[in-house]
Amino acid sequence: MALVEVIDVSKEYQNGEEKIRPLDGVNLTISEGEFVSLMGASGSGKSTLLNLVAGIDQVTSGTIEIGGADITKLSRGNLADWRAAHVGYIFQTHNLIPVLTAYENVELPLMLLPMSNAERRKRVEIAMAAVDLTNRADHYPRQMSGGQEQRVGIARAIVANPTIVVADEPTGSLDDDTTEQILTLLQRVNRELGMTLLMVTHDTDAASRATRQLRLERSELYENGKRLAARVLRTA
């Protein structure tokens, strides 16, 4: 069942005098429970596409439907509410809030959702346990390694049980061992929790851990070396 439908999406922005169009009529469908990796050269628009799906950037044209909701029609405030309930975002540089402990960082997205304190505590504990960081709950980001910070970032992304988790080069700033741990964790999130993942990466090994591997080149998406036809995608 199609969870994400990106239909004929273009994105254009101004860079000084120059008009840049990283995405031009892109189409993509992601089914529920898939783990999709998205590769491409620098400037190919893969991060732009990820940000559009995550609802933190606006399309120039086209529509994006996620779980039946056309997020391109939402106002800025409603889009924020939608993100709180439906998107988990994993950053390359973790982007934890430095003044909050690991527990508080994971708890932060839940502060935006209507739930009791007990429910919130339970969810945070489950997410912390899922990334195996229960014993680091009271640590601040500065007291943790890069890998631990990224695991907290993953816990923060999954804690609200979102419709889709997006990861922008989640292993880009980690060493090989830690990269392996994080990729294994993302696979577990997908397999054991059944969450849908869209991951942008430069790393082919990382991409190979996904259930679908896509490549974006000049606004065309390729899967297993074959270009995906727009109309096929639209009816997928």
Partner 1 sequence: MVGLLPYVLKTLWRHRTRSLLTISGAAVALLVFCFVGAVQHGLFALTESQGAGSTLIVFQENRFCPQSSKLPEDYSRTIAKLPGVAAVVPIKVFTNNCRASLDSIVFQGVQPEQLKEFRHLTLNSGAWDGFNRQGDGALVGHAIAGRRNLKTGDKFTIGDVTVQVAGVFQSSDAAEDALVYTHLDFLQRTRGQNEVGVVTQLEVHLAGGAEPDKVARAIDAEFHAGPVATTTRTKGMFQADTLSDLAELIGFIHWLGYACVALVLSLVATTTVMSVQDRIKEHAVLQTLGFRPFRVFRLVVTESMVLSTLGGGLGVAAGLLFLSWAGMSIAAEGVTIAFRPSWNIALQGVAASIAVGLLAGLAPGWHAARTEIVPALRHA
Q: Which residues bind partner 1 (CB under 8 A)?
A: 51, 54, 56-57, 76-77, 80-85, 87, 89, 91, 95, 97-100, 104, 108-109, 111-112, 156
| Beta carbons within 8 Å of 19's beta carbon, 6+ residues apart | 12, 13
The least distance separating partner 1 from the CB of residue 131, rounded to whole angstroms, comes to: 17
What tokens does 132 get? 């195996």
Is 87 or 189 the residue whose CB approaches partner 1 more closely? Answer: 87
CB 124 within 8 A of CB 186: no
The least distance separating partner 1 from the CB of residue 216, rounded to whole angstroms, comes to 17
Q: Shortest Cβ distance from residue 75 to partner 1 (Å)?
A: 10
Nearer to partner 1, 105 or 213 (CB): 105
Pick between residue 29 and residue 45 the one whose CB is nearest to partner 1: 45
The residue (of 76 and 231) whose beta carbon lies closer to partner 1 is 76
Comparing C-alpha atoms, which of 169, 211, 182, 226 is closest to residue 39?
169
SS3 call for 154: helix
Smallest distance, Å, CB 1 to partner 1?
A: 25
Asked if residue 75 lies in contact with residue 223, where contact means CB atoms within 8 angstroms, the answer is: no
Minimum CB–partner distance for residue 230 and partner 1 (Å): 25
Nearer to partner 1, 22 or 213 (CB): 22
For residue 41, the tally of other CB atoms under 10 A from its CB is 12
Phi, psi of 57 (to 5 degrees): -140, 160
* Contact status, residue 88 vs residue 38, Cβ threshold 8 Å: no
- Which of 110, 133 has the CB closer to partner 1? 110
How far apart are alpha carbons 122 and 24 in whole angstroms? 44
- What are the phi and psi torsion angles at 167 (to 5°)? -130, 120
The identity of residue 173, as a single letter, is: S
What is the nearest approach in angstroms of partner 1 to the Cβ of residue 111? 5
- The nearest distance, CB 225 to partner 1, in angstroms, is 30
In order of 10, 75, 217, the CA distances from 52 in angstroms are: 10, 14, 17
63: number of Cβ within 10 Å: 14
Comparison of 158 and 233: residue with beta carbon closer to partner 1: 158
